[in-house]
Amino acid sequence: MYDLLKGLRVVEGSAFVAAPTCGLYLAQFGAEVIRFDNIGGGPDFRRWPLAGNGRSLYWEGLNKAKKSVALDLSRPEGREIAQRLAAAPGDDGGLFVTNFPVDGFLSYETLRKLRDDLVCVRVLGWADGSQGMDYTINSALGLPLMTGPVGDERPVNHVLAAWDLLTGAYCAFSMVSALLARMRGQGGREVRCSLSDIGAATMANLGFTAETMLSGHQRPRMGNDVFGAFGRDFTTKDGQKLMLLAITPKQWSKALDALGIGAEAAALEAELGVSFAKDEGLRFHHRDRLYPLFERAFAAKTAAELTPAFDAGGVTWGSYQTLAAALEDPRLYKDNPLFETVAHPSGLSYPAPGAMGVIPQDARLPVRPAPRLGQHTDEVLAGVLGLSGGEIAKLHDAGVVAGPEA
């Protein structure tokens, strides 16, 4: 946690990954992020993975440091409260992130009638408003047909929801950008960020689309080979898998030195009339000739023998390990100051991360867990909307709002 955005109030009406990720990043940099949900929870409130007591670890992870308001959004009174929260007054308010549809009670045109300078960042699946989620967008982009073993015709889905996460980060950037424009007197606006556009643009930015257009075919499957450079998994004498990467000339020379195969690589260069040190593309092009040299070198030594030599020689490498093993890795989890053990609304205590960026000049503030559903209903209705205790009590009696779940 940091306090760079302290004082800002962002209201979030969302579910799943992209929009909650946007709110999470803003909250971890100090914004007050108020999430509203249906009483009893939205469609992601009980999403897997679950703790043993049935609570969603997923929901706890994506909603850290936020406040929670529970409303009956099926009723006009509940929808009106959601609208008023999104458009509540104040120079540091009027910031709304959502993945609700373009049309409807949370449309930008509806909300700007309540606040003309509202900044709204809206997550869409497809840019035309049709339904789409990370895996369906990914399948349309062609990546599952480029991923996986050579010769296998089956599509391979990626475990990581990359387009959701990229979209969430881009939405946070868009929110801060639109707020800066408003502070400069340019008024409010809606920014629509679709997974389809984020995915299509990213594929173009990385050269995938130009490559396919100009070559007439998309990139074939290559297993674990790193495209356009030299990189792959290799097996040590004791059966461990290590990842080796050599993109720069320095990385290439360091790998050859540590493995003791410089002379063999030089002989292959002389035979082919090329210089692997100067051109990473040549290493990729001739990888089938290079791989046997590396395979033999890896197979001649154990991981315990190779890894100290790699570290001493400045080789770019990594070990394949389970997540359980990664939890004991001090570079990732164990002893990483990014993480702090906190008590979560599930009743469980386990390490959770704060802001992912490190600011050496600022003290890192304590990690704040996700709220209990409806934990801040009364606080927000009174503090943001100015409702009296009596008015809030009537809303509770009518079932329009709810406090924290037990």
Q: Which positions are catalytic?
A: 164
- DSSP summary character for residue 386: -
Here the tokens at position 388 are: 């009296």
CA distance 400 to 332: 44
Beta pairing, strands 317-319 & 67-71: unpaired
371 prior amide bond cis, ω within 30: no
Q: Are 365 and 398 in contact (CB under 8 A)?
A: no
Nearest residue to 230 via CA among 174, 176, 268, 271 = 268
Task: Give yes or no for a contact between 67 and 380, defined as CB atoms under 8 angstroms apart.
Answer: yes
Looking at 103-161, list the stretches that DSSP marks H as alpha helix, in order from N- to C-terminal side.
108-112, 134-141
Distance CA 52, CA 348 (A): 10
> What is the three-class DSSP state of 352?
strand
